[in-house]
Structure 1
Amino acid sequence: MMPTPGALRSISAGVLDIAYVERGPADGPSVILLHGFPYDVHAYEDVAERLADAGRRCIVPYLRGYGPTRFRSARTMRSGQQAALGADLLALMDALAIPRAVLAGYDWGGRAACIVAALWPERASGLVSSGSPYNIQAIAEAWRPAPPAEEFRYWYQYYFHSERGRRALDGDRRGFCRFLWRLWSPTWAFDDAEFERTAAAFDNEDFVSIVIHSYRHRFGGIPGDPALDGIEARLALLPDITVPSIVLEGADDGVDPPQTADDAARHFRAAYERRILPGVGHNVPQEAPESFADAVLALG
């Protein structure tokens, strides 16, 4: 049985008109649930239902370049860099007058959550990060190669550095993204209907531009948005996260599999727990909604 969808709303926040789904009581403790690439708000349907039933106010936004979220000006750079994701989250919280919330996300959404938790800890009552546990990048160090066993999993990122890769994504958004779903979550038996509900979000006119910029910028290949230079300078220092945090890693994650050594732990300076989920791939909230919701509830 599918969960009851929440109300789709939109609000002007920073450079965007952000579309978001809201579930739960308006006066409940706030939780912001952030999706990754290439996913959308549907990843959180079951999670949001569980949290709403537990009295939480859930805000689930479409990230820049996805679904009905739109830029407010044609002049704004279509940046997918990490600082943009963090700035969008902070702007959304300001627009909704949310002083503090549990921030929870995976992949790109986990990056936004980690950034706000690190740079504006007063706005985060807790952090749930999935995929890359400490999801902040030192762009200036991106030229350093990883071991070959890790590098090959990032083929799509290098592919996007080429015009061939950009055309591949633009020409077959659904085919490309569905292939990534299968690679990254090899034990998740999603069906056509599940994929198509999300794939509509890739029709956003800025989707390809945002994705390509994201992966080219993270390796220092192209400039970022000058308006975000201040945030990027702070992120280059790899700031610690000083709010209570739970890290969730899918044991079957095909792009960011959990490592034996928890190297990310050194960046977490408050209560910290790492949970590895058997039989779960990259899309943790959609594959293991009970585990994801439990982690959020454990933080407040």
Structure 2
Amino acid sequence: MSVPRKFLPSIPSLRALEALDRLGSASAAADELALTQGAVSRQLQTLERQLGMELVQRDQKRLMLTTEAQDYAAEIRQALNQIVQSTLRLQAAPLAGTLNLAILPAFGMRWLMPRLPDFARLHPDVTINMSTRLEPFNFATEPFDAAIHFGNAEWPGTQSLLLKHEQLLPVCAPQLLDGRTVADPKDILKLPLLHIQTRTTAWRDWFARLGIAANDGLSGTIYDQFATITQAALHGLGVALMPDYLVEQDLATGRLVALHPEASETSGAYYLVWPERKSGAAALMKFREWLAGQAQPEDPLPR
């Protein structure tokens, strides 16, 4: 990355700016940084010369940041924290390395987590750090080596491994039916529908696969995660179109009932996705090889 030096100030100068903004005085900043107040002032002067603008308002008693410098310091604080976290991950990485993995919360909890003890047993030298992300992101700007996401494996600059096709079932709490039966999928349109934010066309697509035009009857409440829409369904707020692996236990215990006899496969699927430039990373290669043994066949249903 070739960037003019004026856009990459020195770390000591940025630390002085951030400390002054956070602590409110040059003396407190000097104590934290193990410098003299004069050294803190010189670091700030160096930064001002490099940027070509005034950052500090000076009087005889104290130093104060300008409004623009305060905004700049808040952004710099995030960057410094990111450097600290990256350094800690690097120092804490075992010999085989660390895998920083983004996961979908529901799929990660219900599908991946029960399988991970097997990976830990086979590869105790690999550490997996996990964070949840609901939407695709840019691998260039997020500190992840790989991600488990839902879609059609169309993520630029990446490679992928199919993990599981998604199969959906319409489910609700028994009390929502109040003794009624759903003899035909069209009857579901008479019930309140629950929608998931990440599958905006799920209900319309499901009805279309059954030959039912339902564009005018698909209003209802929207939820951002499967965890919350599941709770809404369990409390009788409506019918949710859920991945079968998420509702198996609730169906088995009778807390939820299925309103259609068979789950239907969607066009999307769950994938492990990783940037091409990290394909040869040791920890990722071990995880990918192990995960391939957990994945379902490429084409489990007849077309």
Q: TM-score, normalised by structure 1?
A: 0.30
More strand as a share of residues: 2
Q: TM-score, normalised by structure 2?
A: 0.29
